[in-house]
Amino acid sequence: MANFSSFTNEHTVEYILIPHLVKALEAYYETIIPLYFWSTREGGRTALDMMGRKKFKVIAIYPRRPKLDYTSHEHIYVKLNFLLFERAKELLKHRIPVFAGVPLVNCLSNLRMSSKCELFYLKAHGTESVYCLSLKDANIFDDGNIKSVSVSSVQDLIDGLCQSMTWEESTSVIKNIKYTSNHYARFYGDLYKPVYLLIK
């Protein structure tokens, strides 16, 4: 990736991607709660006590940075790191599907709340990969790593894969993810942290 450059970070992408997805999913669900998980806040005793026995389906979304190679203004690139697939493999064991998304823009000045976003479902046994995305034409991927998904496809995956859990059960899963290939993540926490959506 040495020849690729980024013009934004994942938090900036969150501000575009998460409202885009939440608004679209509101057509299918009564409640959608986006959250950025801290074990001592969202996963702390106060949050657990207040949530009680309420049950939600949970999905995870990784905002990804659009990358450029300066040879074309009609394409961007997105990298899906091996840690994302490792996380997907573990969360899927507990019926929590994992997605990634990127806005289809090639400049900060083009970012809008209405910017089109590309969404991917991360498969459990995927490997680190880079994808070239067209800013003009449809992008459709379905390989051993990812599957391109529309919002209606996300809804199908939520209904087909997710299991309703109490927040205490969900928190236990998130806190106890087992890492197999990266000592840094085991000792210091995620290098990449998703946004979670609690859905019912």
Chain position carrying tokens 């905002």: 63
3-state DSSP helix/strand/coil percent for the chain, to nearest 5? Answer: 30, 25, 40
pLDDT at 183: 46
Query: pLDDT > 90: what percent of the chain?
Result: 86
Burial of 64 (0-12, 13-18, 19+ CB in 10 A): buried
pLDDT tens track for 134-180: 999 999 999 999 999 999 999 999 999 999 999 999 999 999 886 65
Note the pLDDT of residue 70.
80
Domain that holds residue 16: 5-199
Q: Do residues 135 and 104 make contact, with C-beta atoms less than 8 angstroms apart?
A: yes
Helix (H, G, I), strand (E, B) or coil at 11: helix
Q: What is the mean pLDDT of residues 88-113?
A: 96
pLDDT in tens, 81-93: 999 999 999 999 9
Domain total in the chain: 1
Please tell me the distance from the alpha carbon of residue 145 to that of residue 129, in angstroms, as a whole number: 8
Residue 27: pLDDT over 80: yes
Query: Tens digit of pLDDT for each residue in 33-49?
Result: 999 999 999 999 999 99
What does the mean pLDDT of the chain come to?
Answer: 92
The pTM for the full model equals 0.93
User: Judging by beta carbons within 10 Å of its beta carbon (0-12, 13-18, 19+), is residue 130 exposed, middle or buried?
Assistant: exposed
- Kindly tell me if the per-residue pLDDT of 2 is higher than 60: no
